[in-house]
Amino acid sequence: MGHKKSISCKQTKTCRREFLLGLGIVSAGGAFAANSCGASKSMESVQNLKADVLVVGGGTAGTIAAIQAARLGAQTVLVEAGSQLGGTTTTAGVDYPGLFHAWGNQVIAGIGWELVTKTVELNSDRLPDFKKKNPSESHSKKQVRISGGLYAALAEEACLQAGVQLRYYEFPISVEQGTDNWKVRLAGKGIQVDVDVSQIIDCTGNASVVGMIGLPRMREDTIQPGTLIYSLDGYDMGHLDFKTLGDKYAEALKNGHLLQGDMLHGVRGFLASHAGNAMHVANADSSSSETHTKTNIHGRQSLLRVMRFLKGQPGFEKLRIARLQAETGVRETFRIVGETMITVDDYTRGRVFDDAIAHSFYPIDLHDADGVKPKPLAEGIVPTIPLGSLIPKGSRNLMVAGRCLSSDRLANSALRVQASCMAMGQAAGATAALAAKSGETPLNVSLSEIRKTLKEFGAIVPA
The residue from 15, 61, 72, 232 that contacts ligand FAD (CB under 6 A) is 61
Stated as kind and residue range, the H or E segment containing 182 is: strand 182-188
Q: How far is the CB of 198 from ligand FAD (least distance, A)?
A: 19
Judged by CB under 6 A, how many residues of this single chain contact ligand FAD?
37
- DSSP string across 58-126: -SHHHHHHHHHHHHTT--EEEEESSSSS-GGGTTS-------SEETTEE---HHHHHHHHHHHHHTT--
Peptide bond into 264 cis (omega under 30): no
Fill in the per-residue mask, 274 to 313: x = in contact with ligand FAD (CB under 6 A), - = not in contact.
---x------------------------------------
With vertex at residue 389, the alpha carbon angle to CA 187 and CA 182, rounded to the nearest 5 degrees, is 35
Instruction: State the nearest-atom distance from the C-beta of 79 to ligand FAD, in Å.
Output: 5
Instruction: Supply the minimum distance, in Å, between the C-beta of residue 28 and ligand FAD.
Output: 30
Q: Is the dihedral of CA 343, 349, 351, 352 positive or negative?
A: positive
According to the binding rule CB under 6 A, does residue 227 interact with ligand FAD?
yes
Pattern 94-113, ligand FAD, x by CB under 6 A: x-xxx---------------
- 85 or 461: whose CB is closer to ligand FAD? 85
Pick from 203, 356, 377, 385 the residue near ligand FAD by CB under 6 A.
203
CA dist 316 and 309 (Å) reads 10
Residues in region 161-200 near ligand FAD by CB under 6 A:
171
Smaller CB separation from ligand FAD, 17 or 367: 367
> Is 418 an interacting residue with respect to ligand FAD (CB under 6 A)?
yes
What per-residue string of b and e applies to 153-165 under the rule 16 or more CB within 10 Å gives b? bbbbebbbebbbb
- How many angstroms separate the CA atoms of 205 and 333, rounded? 8
Closest residue to ligand FAD in the complex (CB) = 59
Contact window for ligand FAD (CB under 6 A) among 125-133, 215-223, 327-335, 453-461: 327-335
Rounded Cα–Cα distance for residues 302 and 278 (Å): 12
Nearer to ligand FAD, 75 or 418 (CB): 418
CA dist., res. 261 & res. 8, Å (int):
47
Least Å distance between CB 50 and ligand FAD?
Answer: 19
Q: Is 108 exposed, middle or buried (0-12, 13-18, 19+ CB in 10 A)?
A: buried
Nearest CA to 201 out of 386, 398, 426 is that of: 398
User: For binding to ligand FAD (CB under 6 A), which residues are involved?
Assistant: 56-62, 79-82, 87-89, 92, 94, 96-98, 143, 171, 203-205, 208, 226-227, 277, 329-331, 402-403, 416-418, 421
